[in-house]
Structure 1
Amino acid sequence: MRYAIITGASKGLGEAIAKRLLMEEIAVISVSRTENEEIKQLAAEKGNYYKHYSCNLSIEEEVQEIFMLITHYIFLENPEEIFLFNNAGVIEPIHTVGNLDQTPIIRNIDVNLIAPILITNLFLKKAQQANTSLQVINITSGAAVRSIEGWSVYCSAKAGLNMFTQTVALEQAAAKSTHKIYALSPGIMDTKMQETIRSSSNEAFKELGHFKEFKEKSLLLPPEKVANALVDLALSGEAETGRIYNVNDLI
C-alpha cells in the first residue's frame, strides 16, 4: 500500500492534496490541530484508509511524539511507497523588525522550518532501515527568494526550508539513495493565509494593497489546481530531487 502523510491537511492546499490522494486510492494520514470532516467522509465513501492525528506543530515535543507513533504504525505495514507532504505553514507575525513579539516569531520558525526538519529526519531514518521508497515534498514560498517588508520571519523560514531541501538532496545523492526530496512554491492561492495577509495593516505590510487586488481581481489560484499539479508530479515518479519547483512549472 502507498501512504501519504500531510501536515496542515485540515484546510487550504493540504485539504486539496488529501482529497486528490484519496481519489487515487492512496492511504492518507492527516496531521493538524483539527480534523477536516469532509476528508474523513470522502475516505469513508471511497473505502480508503484514513487516519487523523491531532498535533500542534509549534511544540517540538509534540511533533516528536506524534510522528514517532505515525512512523511506527506505517513501517509495521511494510508500505510500498510513502509521500510526506510538509505542507503546514503560518505567515504571522506580519510586522517590521523592532515591532515583533517573541511568541509568534518562535511559532513561525517552529512550524515553517523546525517541524519539517524533525519530521523529514525521522522518516528518512525509518525509510533507510526498511528500504521503503520515500518522497518528501516541502511546501515553500516565493518569499523564500524575495525580501518582503513585514515578512522577515516568514521569508527567513522558507529560505531555510529551501536550503534544507537542497542539502538533504545532496546527502541522499552522495549515499546513492533513491529517496527524493523537493519543494514547491505554490503561488498566491485563495486560502485562509491570504485572508490573514489581507487583514494586516499598511504600516506592518507595505504590499497590502497588491494582495487585496489579487482577491478583488480574482487572480488567486484555487488550491485544487495547485494540488492536482503537485500530486501529478509526485505520482509520475519524475520529480527531480533537490529542485525547488514553481507552480508555473507544473500548470
Structure 2
Amino acid sequence: MKYAIVTGASRGLGAAAAEQLLSRNYHLIDVSRTGNDSLRKKADGMDGTYTHIRADLSSSEQAQSIIENWLTSIKSSSPEEILFIQNAGTVEPIEITGKLEIEKINHAVQLNYVTPVVIANTLIAHLKELDVRMTIVNITSGAADKPNHGWSIYGSTKAALNLFTETAALEQAELHPELKIISFSPSIMDTDMQQVIRSSSSDAFAQVERFQEYKKQGKLRKPEEVGSALVHLLMGGDLQSGKLYHINDLL
C-alpha cells in the first residue's frame, strides 16, 4: 500500500497536493485541525482512501504520539511507500524585533521548525523496521534566503528547517538510501497566508503594499498549480536528497 501524509491538508497547498495524491491512488492521511470534506468526498469510489487525524501541530509531543501510533497501525499492511509532506506552518508573528510577543514566537517556532524536526526524526527512527521507501518533503519559503522586514521569526524558522533537511540527508545517505528528504519552496500563492500578510500594518511589515499589489495584479499562483508541480516532481523518481527545490525552476 502507498501512504501519503499531509499536514495542513484542510486548505491551500496542502489540500491541492493531497487532491493530486488521491488521484494517484495513495491512501491519504490529513493531519490537521479541521479536516477536508472535499477530499473525503473525492476519495469515495476511488482506490485511494482519506483519513483525517485531528491534531494541534504546535504541540510536538502530540505530533510525535500521533506519528508513533500511525506507524504502529500500518506495520501489518506491509507498506510499499510512505510520502510525508510537512506543509503546516504560520507566517505570524509579523512584527519587528522589540515588539514580538513571546507566545507567538513560541507557537511559530514549534509549528514551523520543532514539530517538522520531531516528525522527521520519528519517521526515520522507524525506517529500518518498516523496510519501506520513504520521502519527506519540508515546505519552506524564499523568506529563508534573505532578511525581510517584520518576518524575523518566519524566515529564521524556515532557514533552520532548510539546514536540518540538508543535514538529515547527509546523515542518512548511507544508512538509508531508500530515504529522500527534500525542501520545497512554493513562492507566493493565493492562500489564507497571503491574506494575513496583506492585512499587516506597514509598521510591522514594510513591504505590505507590494504584496497587496501582487493580489490586485493577479501575480499570485493558484495552490492547485503549485500542488500539481510538487506532486509531478515527487512522482518523477529522480529526487536528490537534501536539495531545495524551487517552484520557479519547475514551472
With the length of structure 1 as denominator, give the TM-score of the two structures. 0.97
Q: Is the 8 A contact 2:180 2:241 kept in 1?
A: yes
- Any unmatched runs of 5+ in structure 1? none
1:200 matched residue in structure 2: 200
Offset from partner CA, 1:35-56 (integer Å, 9 cap, x none): 1110111111425222110000
| Structure 1 letter corresponding to 2:223 | P
| Separation of aligned partners in 1, 2:173 and 2:68 | 26
Q: Partner of 2:86 in structure 1?
A: 86
Q: Tell me if the contact between 1:95 and 1:205 (Cα under 8 Å) persists in the aligned partners.
A: yes
Residue type matched to 2:192 in 1? Answer: K
Partners of 1:119 and 1:76 lie apart in 2 by 21
Matched residue, 2:172? 172
In the TM superposition, residue 75 of structure 1 has moved relative to its aligned partner by 2.7
* Structure-1 residue corresponding to 2:116: 116
Counterparts of 1:21 and 1:197, CA distance in 2: 29
Counting only pairs closer than 5 Å after superposition, residues 1-251 of structure 1 correspond to structure 2 as 1-175=1-175, 177-251=177-251
Q: Contact 1:165–1:182 (CA<8 Å) still a contact in 2?
A: yes
Amino acid at match of 1:247: I
- Secondary structure of 1:46 counterpart: coil
CA distance in 2, matches of 1:136, 1:70: 16
Equivalent position amino acid for 1:117 in 2: V
Question: Once the two structures are superposed, what CA deviation does each residue of 1:10-55 show, in whole Å capped at 9, x if it has no partner?
Answer: 0100000111111111110000011111011111142522211000
Superposed CA offset, 1:148-173 (max 9, x none): 01000000100001001000110111
Q: Is the contact between residue 3 and residue 82 of structure 2 (CA under 8 Å) also seen in structure 1?
A: yes
What number of residue pairs does the alignment pair up?
Answer: 251
- How far apart, CA to CA, are the structure 2 residues paired with 1:197 and 1:86? 21
Contact 1:3–1:82 (CA under 8 A) maintained in structure 2: yes
Q: Structure 2-normalised TM-score?
A: 0.97
Partner amino acid, structure 1, of 2:235 = L
Offset of 1:174 from its aligned partner?
Answer: 3.7
Answer whether contact 2:132 2:178 (CA < 8 A) is retained: no
- Inter-partner Cα distance in structure 1 for 2:250 and 2:72: 34
Deviation at 1:59, TM superposition (A): 1.3
Preserved CA contact (<8 Å) 1:172 1:178: no
The amino acid across from 1:139 in the alignment is I
Q: How far off its partner does 1:76 sit? A: 2.8
Q: Which runs of 4+ in 1 moved over 4 A?
A: none
Question: Percent identity at matched positions?
Answer: 42
The separation in 1 between residues aligned to 2:226 and 2:155, in whole angstroms, is: 21
